[in-house]
Amino acid sequence: MKIIPAIDLMDGHVVRLVKGDPKNKTVYSSNPLEIAKKWQSAGADMLHIVDLDATLGRGSNLEIIKKMLPELNVPVEVAGGLCDESTILEIGKTADRIVLGTLAFKDKETVLKISDSLGKKKIVISVDQIDGKIAVDGWQQSTEITLLDGMNEFLQLGFSEFLLTSISRDGTMQGPDIESIQKACSLENANVIASGGISGIDDVKQLKKLNLYGVILGKALYENKISIEEAKKI
The one-digit pLDDT tens for each residue of the chain (234 residues) are 999 999 999 999 999 999 888 889 999 999 999 999 999 999 999 999 999 999 999 999 999 999 999 999 999 999 999 999 999 999 999 999 999 999 999 999 999 999 999 999 999 999 999 888 999 887 777 888 999 999 999 999 999 999 999 888 888 888 999 999 999 999 999 999 999 999 999 999 999 999 999 999 999 999 999 999 999 998
CA distance 85 to 204: 35
Residue 157 has φ and ψ, to the nearest 5°, of -90, 0
Residue of 35, 217, 173, 214 lying closest to 228 (CA atoms): 217
For residue 9, the model assigns a pLDDT of: 98
Furthest C-alpha separation in the chain: 42
Percent of the chain that is helix, strand, coil (3-state, to 5):
40, 30, 30
3-class state of residue 69 by DSSP: helix
Question: Of the listed 51, 128, 177, 203, which one is catalytic?
Answer: 128
For residue 21, the model assigns a pLDDT of: 87
For residue 39, the model assigns a pLDDT of: 98
For residue 208, the model assigns a pLDDT of: 95
Any catalytic annotation for residue 51? no
For residue 204, the model assigns a pLDDT of: 97
Any catalytic annotation for residue 8? yes
First-to-last CA distance in the chain?
Answer: 9
Asked whether 132 and 146 are in contact (CB, 8 A), the reply is yes
For residue 199, the model assigns a pLDDT of: 95
For residue 138, the model assigns a pLDDT of: 77
